[in-house]
């Protein structure tokens, strides 16, 4: 047992251990720096403002509805914002796109950081339910 302890003490006092310890420390610092960079990048993505827009299905005109921070971007939040944009006296809306699977895929793509805006295709009758919205110049 004493010879094992003596061997370990000799190894840890050797130049080989000092070199290995330096390499391990360097690799740990590189990994920690990479992790910090990745975390900062992900955090900045979460804080990005995502535009919600209407696109008229016949004319192609686009209208700005609102902006929402990506980390708060949920289907319910989007529909709540749309409810707040209704003209006074109108209690509800029915936009065909919001019942489509593409809408769910688009919301998920925004949440994943693959899209930076949500474009809601809307017809004339549906658009009339909402307050005046600013047109987007493309």
Judge if 38 and 59 occupy the same domain: no
Judge if 71 and 56 occupy the same domain: yes
Q: How far, in Å, CA of 106 to CA of 99, rounded? A: 12
Judge if 28 and 88 occupy the same domain: no
| Cβ–Cβ under 8 Å, residues 111 and 73 | yes
Judge if 81 and 114 occupy the same domain: yes
Judge if 114 and 52 occupy the same domain: yes
Number of helical (H) and strand (E) elements in the chain, helices listed first = 5, 4
Judge if 39 and 52 occupy the same domain: no
Secondary element (H or E) of residue 136: strand 135-136
pLDDT at 16: 72
pLDDT at 19: 76
pLDDT at 111: 92
Judge if 41 and 27 occupy the same domain: yes
Query: What is the number of structural domains in the chain?
Result: 2
Residue-range definition of the domain harbouring residue 26: 2-45
Give every residue of the chain whose pLDDT is below 70, as ranges: 1, 42-44, 138
Judge if 59 and 119 occupy the same domain: yes
pLDDT at 18: 74
Judge if 105 and 87 occupy the same domain: yes
């Amino acid at each position: 047992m004493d010879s094992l302890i003596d061997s370990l003490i000799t190894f840890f006092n050797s130049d080989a251990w000092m070199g290995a310890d330096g390499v391990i420390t360097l690799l740990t610092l590189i990994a920690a720096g990479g992790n910090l960079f990745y975390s900062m990048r992900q955090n900045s993505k979460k804080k990005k403002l995502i535009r919600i827009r209407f696109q008229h299905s016949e004319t192609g005109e686009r209208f700005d509805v609102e902006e929402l921070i990506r980390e708060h971007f949920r289907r319910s939040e989007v529909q709540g914002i749309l409810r707040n944009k209704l003209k006074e006296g109108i209690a509800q809306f029915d936009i065909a796109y919001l019942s489509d699977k593409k809408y769910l895929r688009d919301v998920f793509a925004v949440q994943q950081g693959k899209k930076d805006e949500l474009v809601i295709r809307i017809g004339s009758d549906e658009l009339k339910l909402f307050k005046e919205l600013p047109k987007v110049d493309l």
